[in-house]
Structure 1
Amino acid sequence: MEITKDIKYVGVNDHDVDLFEGQYVVPNGMAYNSYVILDEKIAVMDTVDAHFKQEWLDQIRTLLGDRHPDYLIIQHMEPDHSANIAAFMELYQDTTVVSSAKAFTMMKQFFGTDYPERQIVIKEGSTLSLGRHTLAFVAAPLVHWPEVMVTYDTCDKVLFSADGFGKFGALDVEEDWACEARRYYIGIVGKFGAQVQNLLKKAAALDIQTICPLHGPILKENLGYYLSLYNTWSSYQPEDDGIVLAYTSVYGHTKEAVDLLADRLREKGCAHVVVHDLARTDMAEAVEDAFRYSKLVLATVTYNGGIFPYMRDFIEHLTDRNYQNRTVAFMENGSWAPTAARGMKSLLENSKNLTFAEHTVRILSALSDESRAQVDALADELCQ
């Protein structure tokens, strides 16, 4: 695949992976992206997952013919991108590896060497000339590992963005970018919004015409759309006005109350009402929707004097990613000592800028006239 006249794609598609990073369902696979810049000197940008070592090396051999790469630039040491450093450096023994000091520390941990006689250590503001192409390096710590650098090609105005602007899904599958990019961002990078904001400020000073991430498609058109979404996500602002109902239910009574609330909200004209049964849904999808929309209803049973495990897990997923700037409401169920609402609220006590709804629905075993009235009151409040 040609990115520009001098920049070629040598990545791979993975349709065998079932869980990315051991937890994210990827029904359409993953792409591990690598690039080659052809100039007076040749630079290879990152490697790919270990399972695709031979395919990747074969692509490079086919592209280069008798030429050898001068530089291997490692922006990010996560193994889905760095796994083939040792194989590459063994094959091309006159190549210099270029990376940050922290990356070289990790390199030695992974491979037993940091190639001390064949390394160039880069930092914020470092540049590397290939001929016509000059690469400018920008530090991007904690987006999403501490060693990350991104690279700007001043000639073709291409930003090699590491894991930034990536998404789930292989490149040979057509799907909406935002949905899987959102789930990817919130799940993997979401904790580090402040660091992403810092990187966006640096990117604003660059004339970027193409973004080449380490996962997902190359972005060439309407870059303002992608940058705007990243700004929204990393500043923890709601992307859309809507209400997510996340619940757990043991015998169906809490589910009945949630379904009633969803019906009431839709009757009142709420544009987006999304319901997740946390015991059955993809947890990453539920977390994605909680960050996408402006309001969240948490509904669960009192369990062992606390809250149901799937609900606790869900809330911890939110707080681990700095959930904030939302309205949150509670529904609790209990047969003798309902405490779930208090428990859920306590898990959110360190979250910033949350507005808690005035009305809480309390179900004593099953819906009653009183708890139905509470559902109606909560629906009124959420739809204001």
Structure 2
Amino acid sequence: MYFCTKITNDVTWIGVNDRKTERFENYIPLPYGVTYNSYFIDDEKTCVIDAVEIGSASTLLDKIADCLEGRKLDYIIINHVEPDHSSGLKEVIKIYPDIKVVGNSKTIGMLRAFCFDFPEENFITIKEGEILDLGKHKLTFTMMPMVHWPESMTTYDITDKILFSNDAFGSFGALDGGIFDDQVNFDFYEGEMRRYYSNIVGKYGMQVTNVIKKLANIEIKYICPSHGLLWRDDIPKVISLYESWAKFEPQAEGVVIVYGSMYGNTAKMAEILGRKLNCCGIKEVKIYDASKTDHTYIISEIWKYKGLMIGSCAHNNSIYPKVEPLLHKLENYGLKNRYLGIFGTMMWSGGGVRGIQAFADKLNGIEVVGDAVEVKGTPKAEDIARLEVIAEEMAAKLIAERL
């Protein structure tokens, strides 16, 4: 078969690795690629679960043809209409015009909005808990609205205990050989999984928590998401990670320091803070220049660590342009359960520090540590002393939680 991998006797991974696309959703860097996972169920009625992005559709079609061996394709289930999952459906329909498209009541309208052309009678509307009988395999469905689109749902194979989980439990990163969690070094994928969660699903923590509760009473032997690794060995681990991320719970003691600096003075402040934090016993300190490091990586690290320190020079009486969108996204996502230190530079009327303080005031779950440190020009001895004070206070907060 054409690079198809068996999950169980009747269920096959027919996904595609995309190492060409530079940015997911045209803004998130993909240095390690991404997968579009699709699955084939071989039964009395044949079924594909999820299509792929249109640019990878020809590979998907080759894999479907290999699996069918000349037979008819009966169903394709669309768990999610977002184009990275469904745009390849157009090519599938061209080759298999009689195929039945399966989705929920919100799916069909979204497919029509993207100009999918197939007869109305070829669409099967399913409801929560309803069963699609393929013969040996019985499939049922769980709605998970706003994880992270309103039509999102999961498909569960009752026979083989497989959860086809859509974007839940997904990850960036192409699959380099192994496709299962027990076939790879998960240390690499964990970072890309957290970056995926924090940037794609992160706003919808409450909805993620509700879905996990819904799924708690079913036996799951495999989790097969639409992107990234498939899970069969340590399923409690991936569920635990998602539960933690959904609640904005930090995974590690440490501090992310992110700054925007035009002439290097705010950068100097960040270095002073980092050094003092380390001297106070904080081993994990991550310093990022917001003008250089893509925000998706910074947000992923913010999801990991309890401490956060944000600095900005004043720019036209406001926040530095490369810091402002980061604050906007964190506010939009409702960041909480973090300690925040504030610093920055100015020359006359300021604006950078004031803008960060306004950001902090909007987030109920953020605790500001110490007094904001705003420096006129280059940090002097007295400014360094003030920076060291907030670094000491941040370290004390974090160390107190070890006990």
> What is the Cα deviation at residue 218 of structure 1?
1.0
Superposition map of 1:251-270 within 5 A: 251-270=263-282
CA distance in 1, matches of 2:149, 2:36: 17
Aligned to 1:75: 79
Q: Secondary structure at the match of 2:323?
A: helix
Map of 1:109 onto structure 2: 113
Equivalent of 1:182, from 191, 194, 216?
194
CA contact (8 A) 2:90 2:116 kept: no
Q: TM-score, normalised by structure 1?
A: 0.97
CA contact (8 A) 2:316 2:351 kept: no
Which letter does structure 2 place at the counterpart of 1:172? D
Q: Does 1:137 align with 2:109?
A: no
Q: Which residue in the other structure is 2:214 paired with?
A: 202
**Matched position secondary structure for 1:351:** coil
Unaligned runs of at least 5 residues, structure 1 = none
* Shift, 1:315, TM fit: 0.6
Match of 1:30 in 2: 34
How much does 1:212 deviate?
A: 0.5
Is 2:374 the partner of 1:362? yes
**Equivalences for residues 229-268 of structure 1 within 5 A:** 229-268=241-280
Quick one: distance in 2 between partners of 1:289 and 1:55? 35
Q: Which amino acid aligns with 1:69?
A: L
**1:219 correspondence with 2:231:** yes
> How far does residue 326 in structure 1 lie from its aligned partner after superposition?
0.8
CA 1:195 to 1:114, structure 2 compared with 1: closer, same or farther past 3 Å?
farther
User: Partners in 1 of 2:108 and 2:341 — Cα distance?
Assistant: 47
SS of alignment partner, residue 245 of structure 1: strand
Deviation track 1:231-270 (CA, whole Å, cap 9, x = no partner) reads 0111112121211101011111111111011111111110
Partner Cα distance (2:262, 2:115) in 1: 49
Report the count of equivalent residues. Answer: 384
Match of residue 193 from structure 1? 205
The equivalent residue for 2:304 is 292
Q: How far off is 1:112 after superposition?
A: 4.6
Report the AA paired with residue 169 of structure 1.
G
Q: How much is the aligned-residue C-alpha RMSD, in angstroms?
A: 1.3
Q: Confirm or deny that 1:337 pairs with 2:349.
A: yes
CA-CA distance at 1:85 after TM superposition: 1.8
For the residue of structure 2 that corresponds to 1:287, the secondary structure is helix
Identity of aligned residues (%): 35
Structure 1 residues 328-371: Cα deviation after superposition (integer angstroms, max 9, x where no partner) = 11002112233322211212322231111122222110111210
Aligned to 2:63: 59
CA contact (8 A) 2:309 2:342 kept: yes
Mapped contact 1:327–1:356 kept (Cα < 8 A): yes
What is the rounded CA distance, in whole Å, between the counterparts of 2:285 and 2:104 in structure 1? 45
Partners of 1:211 and 1:344 lie apart in 2 by: 40
How far apart, CA to CA, are the structure 1 residues paired with 2:130 and 2:118?
Answer: 19
Structure 1 residue 123 displacement after superposition: 2.0
Distance apart, 1:92 and its partner CA: 1.8
Structure 1 Cα separation of the partners of residues 268 and 98 of structure 2: 67
The code of the aligned residue for 2:331 comes to T
1:291-328: CA deviation from partner (whole Å, max 9, x where unpaired): 21111111111111111111111111211222111111
**Corresponding residue number in structure 2 for 1:162:** 166
Partner residue in 1 for 2:336 = 324
Q: Aligned partners of 1:98, 1:123: CA distance in 2, in Å?
A: 10
Counterparts in 2 of 1:236 and 1:82: CA distance versus 1, 3 Å: same
Superposition TM-score, scaled by structure 2 size: 0.92
Taking the aligned partners of 1:167 and 1:305, their CA distance within structure 2 comes to 39
Corresponding residue SS for 1:143: coil
